[in-house]
Amino acid sequence: MNGFRIGYGEDAHALAPGRRLVIDSSPVGTVAHSDGDVLLHALSDALLAAYAMGDIGQYFPPSNPNYRGLDSRVILQTVLQRLADQVGEFRILNLSAVVVLDQPRLGPTRRDIQRQVAGELGIDVSRVGVTFKTSEGMAPDFIQARATVLLHTE
């Protein structure tokens, strides 16, 4: 397992009021089985994919009512622990993520989003790239996140 690995993940949800969107930085939320944080879900899948360990649906089946409303941070931390169990000590070199969303504009909260994700991963903010795109009005009720990670094990 030693050397570099990349991982890629995606997530998408319909928008709904009153639920979380991208960690704690927006008033708009999504309809989803767990708490619907698309960015952390895409990131969690990317981390698993880097080591061909499946995806979060296997660890947290949507059919299981226990996982309704589950905090995305818990999902991410569980994934990090599974990785450590399976591959040993690993480093996350950087993360590059895209959030596609028409409204609200997330640019003003970019630094906050970066800080929160960096905190969850235990890495420096300078290693967390987050970009935003609109759908150009083609999908106003929709949010999507894509995430790529680069990892290294000794």
**Tokens found for residue 108:** 């003003």
> Closer CB to ligand C5P, residue 72 or residue 109?
109
Is the Cα dihedral 74, 29, 118, 91 positive or negative?
Answer: positive
Q: Could you say whether residue 133 binds ligand C5P (CB under 6 A)?
A: yes
Among 8, 51, 67, 132, interactor with ligand C5P by CB under 6 A: 132
Nearer Cβ to ligand C5P, position 8 or 132? Answer: 132
Choose the binding region for ligand C5P from 12-20, 68-76, 80-88, 127-135 (rule: CB under 6 A). Answer: 127-135
| 12: its two tokens | 């998408």
How many whole angstroms separate alpha carbon 131 and alpha carbon 141? 19
Residue 25, SS3?
coil
Q: Dihedral sign for Cα 107, 94, 139, 14, please.
A: negative
Q: Give the x/- contact pattern for ligand C5P in 74-113, rule: CB under 6 A.
A: ---------------------------x---xxx------
Binding site for ligand C5P (CB under 6 A): 101, 105-107, 132-134
